Amino acid sequence: MPINAIAITIAIAIATADPSLPLCQRSRKKLLTRERSIRTAEQNLRVYTSPRIRHKHKRMKKSRPPFLVIKRLYTRSGGLRKPQKVTNDPESINRKTYWCFEHKPIKRTLVNLIYSHNELKLFSRFLNHPNVGTSLVHELSLEGPYTGFLPSNEALKLISPESLAKLYEEGDKLMEFVLGHFAKDFWLYRDLYGSSYQPWLVFNERRDAPEKITNLVNRDLLVEITGEFKNCDHSISLNGAKIIRPNMKCHNGVVHIVDRPIIQR
């Protein structure tokens, strides 16, 4: 008998053999696996052809997956228009173009940071003053840039409640107190320390450590540097107020949190 005929005869015998007959353990396992997969496919086919399950399956396909990211377009008021991929709205286009070509990826202003940061909750109350609050918000929303040295909640608790109440009653003094914590120009922590020999001098212009900087009420803030940067024991203080959290960047400036209110000299 030819070899092909022998192979066909053996294959037919195996396919039509009784399962009770002794077979190789591996062949037996393959047959069981195939039967199980066929049975599972038939069950799935019956389930998905029922009207109720089919309707539910279509409804699930329409829902968006949770990882789908929708582009959002900012408006002038800070809210969001209807999310969409393409827009002809000139307001949205102008806003996107402004952020793109001005190289300012940070959208929050100094006012947004003051209202949102947990350590500045007490300081943010000054911006809600009925008489001078609007003027403060307008001043700190301008292009600037400004650098804020703002006292934390614990720092403002060092002032007695009577002094704070008196300061809050007099609007002019309150405005002078708030603006006294802001300086002109953009001063990062590294700029206050000086970038004469620091590694970031390659990427920035040389800025020596200033002896004093001028705040928004034309008063001088004395810059005091202690320790060395190389030993990681340095600190920077302005009129005795030590910076405890630096470099919180905003669109129109930067904010450093200090451990006490700045006293005007």
Task: Report CA torsion sign: 198, 184, 138, 114.
Answer: positive
Domains of the chain: 3-62 (no CATH), 110-258 (2.30.180.10)
pLDDT attached to residue 226: 85
CB 221 within 8 A of CB 149: yes
pLDDT attached to residue 26: 54
Neighbour-count burial of 108, counting CB atoms closer than 10 A to its CB (0-12 exposed, 13-18 middle, 19+ buried) = middle
Copy the structure tokens of residue 265.
């000299």
CB 49 within 8 A of CB 57: no
Tens digit of each residue's pLDDT, the chain (265 residues): 554 454 455 555 554 554 554 545 556 666 666 677 666 666 655 544 445 544 444 444 444 444 444 444 444 444 444 444 555 666 555 555 555 545 556 778 888 888 888 899 888 888 888 888 788 888 888 887 899 999 999 998 888 888 888 888 887 888 888 888 999 888 888 888 876 555 555 555 667 788 889 888 888 889 888 877 667 777 888 988 889 998 888 888 899 999 999 877 6
User: Residue 29: which H helix or E strand, with range?
Assistant: helix 25-48
pLDDT attached to residue 24: 55
